Structure formats: structure tokens, C-alpha cells
Amino acid sequence: MSENKTPIIIGSDHAGYPLKEKIKEHIIETGIEIEDAGTYAQDSVDYPDFGIKVAHAVSIGKFKRGILLCGTGIGMSMVSNRFPHVRAALCNDLFSTIMSRRHNNSNILVMGGRIIGEALAMEIVKLWLETPFDGERHQLRIEKFDGINNIGICGSSFKKTL
């Protein structure tokens, strides 16, 4: 896997729990530290509780990267992208995974535990950890949407672009 051994935070709801456990074990085997934000069983839970924990930790810089899983990945994507400086990417295929890193510098990988199988999930995680950000023109684009947090939805700059 990657030479980058930066610690990762991981979380899931009950639907993503079985795959989270397998991914966590795989990441630990590569020598990367991982913090598990829950859930810790397959009992029904509310996915936002775990998405919030992971996204907040990435947003404030406690972790550079995180991984989230729920049934489809949609809910975790929605909740985590509400946090400043979080670029969560729902990746259930290899091409999206690579592009989420190269062009969008995604810092949270989101997957659907009921959508993809274990083998594909492991390959997605591997690619996501190893693929570098291309920077340059893509960095300028990221700075534009990071700036949305500074102007707010009602900011005059935002209204002018509508």
C-alpha cells in the first residue's frame, strides 16, 4: 500500500459495519494507525452520528483523512460534506476513486456497504490511499468551494455567480 502512513479515522452505521471491520483490519495490516469512531455492532443506529464524528475530526485537522461507510454511501456523503474543508467523495468504482484524489483531493472516502463487495472495497481503499492530488489548476477550484464557508449562502459574491 502507500508509503504515506498518516493515521486515518473510520466510521460506519450498522449497514456499513461488516465492511468497515474488514477494511479496518486490512489498513492495520499495512501499518497505518486507524481510529474507529464506531459503530461497534450491527444494531440499528443513526448514520449522521458517525458521519459527524469522522467529518468533524477531519474538518478541524485532527486527521488528514477519513473513511465512512453506510448502506449506499449517500447519507454519509451528505452529512460529511457539510463540514468546512471536508471533501468527501462517494466512490463505488475505481475511476471515481482515482479522480476524487487527483482532481478533488478528497479527504474522506465514502463507500456503500450494501453496494460493493469486499474485494472491490479493498482495491478502492488501496487506490484512494496511494493516488496523489494533481494540484495546480485543481487547487484553485478547491479554494473556490472552500471559500463558500467564508461568504455563506447569502453572501454577495455568491449571489453574483448565480
Catalytic residue numbers, as ranges = 70, 103
Q: Residue 157: CB partners within 8 Å, gap ≥ 6?
A: 151
How far does the chain reach from its first CA to its final CA, in angstroms? 43
Nearest to 100 by CA among 142, 147, 133: 133
- Cell reading at 145: 468551494
Q: Looking at this protein, which amino acid is placed at residue 103?
A: H
- Spatial separation of the C-alpha atoms in residues 80 and 110, rounded to whole Å: 9
Q: Do 77 and 88 form a contact (C-beta atoms < 8 A)?
A: yes
Q: Which residue carries 451528505 as its cell?
A: 78
